[in-house]
Amino acid sequence: MTVDDKTIVGGTAPSIALPLVSGGSRRTHSTLFSLVLVSPLLLLIFFGFVYPVGEMLVSSLFSPGFTLDNYARIFTKPLYLKVLYRTLEIALLTTLGAFVLGYPVAFAMARAKSKLVPWIAACVLIPLWTSVLVRSYAWILLLQRKGIVNNFLIDIGLIDKPLKILYTEHAVLLAMVHVLLPFMILPVYGSLRSISVELPRAAKNLGAGPVTVFKSVYLPLSLPGIFAGSILVFILALGFFVTPALVGGPTTLMMATLISQQTTELLDWEFAAALSTLLLVVTLVIAFAFRHVLSFSKGFSDGN
């Protein structure tokens, strides 16, 4: 906390600093040199992503002659549409859950006294650094028939026999919100952190109560972070495999689990490819839609 003001040394600093900055950073490499620098990445993207995805797309359309059967199958069999719908629904609910639980944490982290911040950050980051597998098994331990939650509820006499919590959509949702929470918290924290302390003070000074300060200053200025966090969580949730597979079991099938079943158990590679392509298209459409919304809010994010 500052006891007093920081000394501002006139307005000369920017005018001196500007030419230095532009002079220093405006070094240009030849195009060839730039290409050499990015070539390892380009090769990796080509062989690790573009080629297999292209191969997959092609294989979904030919068996061996050109056919749309695989896609027709997705859209005619209610089972597959139901899985797609469930995946979108769980991804959306996960995003909402992560926002509802994550925003207050990000807010506390951005506004807490400096001594508290590392502790909150540790609580957010340590789960993130722990393997998703470990965290999903932890949820199994908690939620199974004779797990900690059921035992506790029986001990305090709230229920007589164990509830079925594990292998339900709710369990998947709970575990996924938990696993993906840091991806919501961190971008929101970043945008809240960049709001100068003077702005909420100015709002208060001009007559705004706490709720109005939040609605008119914090919320609109943290929108870029909310969008970034939401799209991260949503897209990660769409293709999430480990947690739904472990916590959801066979009854709560999601797209990633379905694709895995088709490839490893049923060996129907063409159909798996069609499912993957559909998931990819849905993901891309949503990503671009989000980007479009985001570019509207960008106008002010660099204003301060």
Partner 1 sequence: MKGAPVSIQRVVKTYGDVLAVNNISLDIVAGELLSLLGPSGSGKTTLLMMLAGFELPNTGSMLLGGNDITFMPPNKRNIGMVFQKYALFPHMTVAQNVGYPLRMRKVPRDVIRQRVANALDLVRLGSYGDRMPSQLSGGQQQRVAVARAMIFEPPVLLMDEPLGALDKKLREQLQIEIKSLQERLAVTVVYVTHDQEEALKMSDRIAVLNEGVLEQVGTPADLYRKPQSAFVADFIGKMNFISGEIHECQSGVSVVRLSEQHFLRLSADVSANPALQRGQKVQIAVRPESLGIASAGQGGQSSIPGVLEANIFVGTHHTLIVGLSVGTPEPIHIQIPDGAVGSDLSRGDSIDVVFNPKKTHIFHADDAVK
**Binding region for partner 1 (CB under 8 A):** 1-8, 10-12, 15, 196, 198-199, 201-209, 212, 216-217, 220-221, 299-304
> Nearest approach, Cβ of 217 to partner 1 (angstroms)?
7
Task: Give me the least distance between CB of 121 and partner 1, in Å please.
Answer: 24
- Rounded-to-integer distance, Cα 169 and Cα 247, Å: 9
**Which residues, in sequence order, are bridge partners of residue 62?**
66
CA atoms of 143 and 149, how far apart (whole Å):
6
* Neighbour count for residue 92 (Cβ, 10 Å): 15
Closest-CA residue to 238 (of 273, 193, 285): 285
User: CB of 303: closest distance to partner 1 in angstroms?
Assistant: 3
The 3-state DSSP class for residue 161 equals: coil
How far is the C-alpha of 57 from the C-alpha of 80, rounded, in Å? 18
CB of 194 to partner 1, least distance (A): 10
d(CA 217, CA 194): 12
Q: Least distance (Å) from partner 1 to the CB of residue 207?
A: 4
Nearer to partner 1, 217 or 231 (CB): 217
Backbone conformation region of residue 163, classed left if phi is above 0, alpha if psi is from -120 to 50, else beta: beta
Q: To 10 degrees, what angle do helices 132-143 and 148-155 make?
A: 30
Of 37 and 219, CB closest to partner 1: 219
In this complex, which beta carbon is closest to partner 1, that of residue 15 or of residue 31? 15
Q: Which residue has the tokens 């199974």?
A: 144
Q: Which is nearer to partner 1, 40 or 303 (CB)?
A: 303
Question: CB 111 → partner 1: shortest distance, Å?
Answer: 14
Token readout for 242 is 């480990």
CA distance 299 to 120: 31
Residue 227 Cβ vs partner 1, minimum distance, rounded to whole Å: 14
Quick check: 252 and 169 in contact, CB under 8 A?
Answer: yes
Q: Which is nearer to partner 1, 148 or 202 (CB)?
A: 202
Least gap, CB of 5 to partner 1 (angstroms): 4
CB-based contact 228:98 (threshold 8 Å) = no
Residue 28 vs 205, nearer CB to partner 1: 205
- Nearest CB to partner 1, comparing residues 20 and 32: 20
Strand runs (DSSP E) across 157-289, as ranges? none
The residue type at 261: Q
70 vs 191, beta carbon nearer partner 1: 191
